[in-house]
Amino acid sequence: MSTSELTTPGLGAGLRDVLRSRFLLKLLVAKELKVRYRGSVLGILWSYVKPGVQFLVFWFALGVFLGMNRNTENYAIYLFSGIVLINFFNEALGNASRSVVGNGGLIKKIYLPRELFPVASVWVSAVHFLPQLLVLLVACLFAGWTPGFFQIFAAVAGFTIVALLATGLGLFFGAANVYFRDSENFVDMLLMIATWASPVLYTWTMVRDGLATAFSAGAASVLLVIYQANPLTIAVELFHFAFWLPTTSEITDPLIAAPPNLLDMWLPIGLGTALLVTIFGQWTFRRLEGRFAQEL
């Protein structure tokens, strides 16, 4: 009757299976979004309203009242372009870390590529990222932003770095969370650090100057390289380059504006690191997934 071969069930092909199950991925993402906005009148519009209001608050409170604009031109845009990216990272990694345990009921009963769950979490977060990006774009246009090829390239690269990083770490912590529920608390802590460990609220020159006064010249330069090699730092700087820099004038110090070698050196380093993290995450996930059904 059937001509197919005998195969061993339960051995998937990892992320490649996710590519094959695009329809299921789409449904899982749609499910998340539907469940999240169930029973609310504005529905997905909320994800436009919230960042919009957030930006206005930044603009007034930080830029106008606290006078942050004196140090950093268009501080609200500087801040917001970093924050949308970090928001995306936080939401993606936080949800991906919980996704495997959260879908335990399913994983215990039916075999399907389990990588789908962390990937779907990252995807859902990307859907929430879009409205924030739109708010940012509108603000940028008001501030006189005109996009060029390099700006769009940098934005896409920054987003890709964060998406890969969140997928890789999400696979790792999502799998680890099955064995040790402590993982999700660890991730929460990590996310809190992530906001401060990248130049979202401040400029990278403050880190350089701070390190130079606190440490000897040699140590300071090593620490600065470590700081700059953080893929999140690179991604945030790429977003600054793409969205904030074109809105500034000549009064902004070109060094603050963009760290040297951002596009030709740090960008490939960031992408490479993020890719390695994804491969590492996938590798650990596959080693651990064999026992998911019995541990959940």
Partner 1 sequence: MTTAIEVRGISKQFVLRHTRSIKEAFVWLVKGRKGDLSKKFHALDDVSLDVRQGESVALLGLNGSGKSTLLKHISGVMLPDDGTVRTRGRVAGLIEVGAGFHPDLSGRDNVYLNGAILGMTEQQIDDLFESIVDFSEIGQFIDTEVKFYSSGMYLRLAFSVAVHTNPEVFLVDEILAVGDEPFQRKCIAKIMELAAAGKTLVVVSHDLDLVAQVCERGVILAHGKIIFDGPVHDAVAHLRGGSI
Interface positions, 182-211, toward partner 1 (CB under 8 A):
182
Can you tell me which of 41, 65, 70, 110 binds partner 1, judged by CB under 8 A? 110
x/- mask, partner 1, residues 212-231, rule CB under 8 A, reads --------------------
Q: Is 16 in the site for partner 1 (CB under 8 A)?
A: no
Can you tell me which of 127, 137, 206, 293 binds partner 1, judged by CB under 8 A? 293
Interface positions, 38-67, toward partner 1 (CB under 8 A):
38
How far CA 220 is from CA of 181, 227, 258, 262, in Å, comes to 37, 10, 19, 19
Closest CA to 233 of 264, 269, 209: 269
Burial string for 146-176 (b: 16+ CB within 10 Å, else e) reads eeeeebeebbebbbbbbbbbbbbbbbbbbbb
Judged by CB under 8 A, the stretch of 21-29, 153-161, 225-233, 275-283 that binds partner 1 is 21-29
Distance in angstroms (rounded) separating the CA atoms of residues 81 and 151: 13
Shortest Cβ 179–partner 1 spacing (Å): 8
Q: Is 34 in the site for partner 1 (CB under 8 A)?
A: yes
C-alpha radius of gyration, the chain, whole number = 21
Cβ proximity to partner 1: between 107 and 257 the closer is 107
Closest CA to 267 of 293, 296, 239: 239
- Half-sphere exposure at residue 121, Cβ-oriented, CA atoms within 13 angstroms: 28
Shortest Cβ 8–partner 1 spacing (Å): 5
Can you tell me which of 7, 146, 213, 249 binds partner 1, judged by CB under 8 A? 7
Judged by CB under 8 A, the stretch of 7-15, 135-143, 196-204, 227-235 that binds partner 1 is 7-15
Cβ proximity to partner 1: between 111 and 142 the closer is 111
Interface positions, 164-183, toward partner 1 (CB under 8 A):
179-182
- Half-sphere exposure at residue 22, Cβ-oriented, CA atoms within 13 angstroms: 2
Residue 31 contacts by C-beta under 8 Å, 6 or more apart in sequence? none
The site for partner 1 (CB under 8 A) is made up of 1-2, 4-11, 21, 23-24, 27-28, 30-31, 34-35, 38, 105-112, 179-182, 290-291, 293-295
